[in-house]
Amino acid sequence: MKTKIKKTVGIVLAVFTLSACAQKQESAVKDMLKDPSQQEEVLTLMVEDHDLGKKYIANMMDNDHAMGMMVDELVKAAAKDTILANKLSDMITRYPDLMLLTTHHFMPVIASDSLLTDSFCDHTLEHEDLAKAMHNKMEYKKSLERNH
The string of pLDDT tens digits covering residues 18-39 is 555 555 555 677 788 788 888 8
**Could you tell me if residue 20 is inside a domain?**
yes
Q: Do 21 and 3 share a domain, yes or no?
A: yes
Which whole number is the average pLDDT over 108-122?
A: 90
Distance linking the first and last C-alpha atoms of the chain:
98
> If pLDDT is split at 50, 70 and 90, which confidence band does 5 have?
low
Establish if 7 belongs to a structural domain. Answer: yes
Q: How many folded domains does the chain comprise?
A: 2
Question: Range of 58's domain?
Answer: 35-62
Q: What is the DSSP string of 60-78?
A: HHTSHHHHHHHHHHHHHHH
Residue 137 parent element (H or E): helix 128-147
Sign of CA dihedral 76, 81, 84, 85: positive
Residue 129 lies in a domain: no
What percent of the chain has pLDDT above 90? 10
- Are 2 and 14 found together in one domain? yes
Residue 92 covered by a domain? no
Question: Which residue would you say has higher pLDDT here, 3 or 85?
Answer: 85
The whole-number average pLDDT for the span 52-75 is 89
Same domain, 1 and 26: yes
In a domain, 21, yes or no: yes
Q: Does residue 10 sit within a domain?
A: yes
Q: Reduce the DSSP state of residue 45 to 3 states and report it.
A: helix
CB neighbour burial string for 36-66, b if at least 16 within 10 angstroms, e if fewer: eeeeeeeeeeeeeeeeeeeeeeeeeeeeeee
Does residue 93 belong to any structural domain of this protein? no
User: Is 99 part of any domain?
Assistant: no
